[in-house]
Amino acid sequence: MKRNLLKKEEDSDPISAVSNLFDVAMVFAVALMVALVTRYNMTEMLSSEDFTVVKNPGKENMEIITKEGEKINRYTPSEDQSKSGKRGRKVGIAYEMENGEIIYVPE
C-alpha cells in the first residue's frame, strides 16, 4: 500500500514523453530553417524591402527573382514560356563602373 502512495502520477502517463518529443522536433525544425536561410544568403526573403536577384546571369538557365511587397515573382527568359505566356531574350549587357554609374551596351 505504501508503494502506491509513493508512486508519482507522471510515471503512469505515457503521453507526456510525446509532448517532449514534439518540443524537441519544433526547436530542431526552426534551427534548420534558420541555418538554411543564412547558408544560402537568403535573408532578404525575410525582410520587408523589395529586391531583385539574378541567378546564373548570362547563361541558359538564368533566372530573375523579384520580391515586391509580399509577392515573389520568378522569371526565366527562354524561347518557350508556355506556362506564363511570357517570352524573353537577352538584348544587351549592363556594366557598373567603380563610381556607381551603370552603362548599358545593346547587342
**pTM exceeds 0.85, yes or no:** no
Same domain for 33 and 54, yes or no, is no
Residue 27's pLDDT band, with cuts at 50, 70 and 90, is very high
Residue 55's pLDDT band, with cuts at 50, 70 and 90, is confident
14 forms bridges with which residues in the sheet? none
Contact 51, 69 (CB under 8 A): no
Q: How many domains, in total, are found in the chain?
A: 2
Task: Compute the radius of gyration of the chain from its Cα atoms.
Answer: 27
Same domain for 12 and 34, yes or no, is yes
Same domain for 59 and 99, yes or no, is yes
Helix ranges (DSSP H) in 7-107: 16-39
Q: Please report where in the chains the cell 515573382 appears, as a residue.
A: 73
Q: What grid cell was written down for 52?
A: 531583385
Domain of residue 82: give its range.
47-106
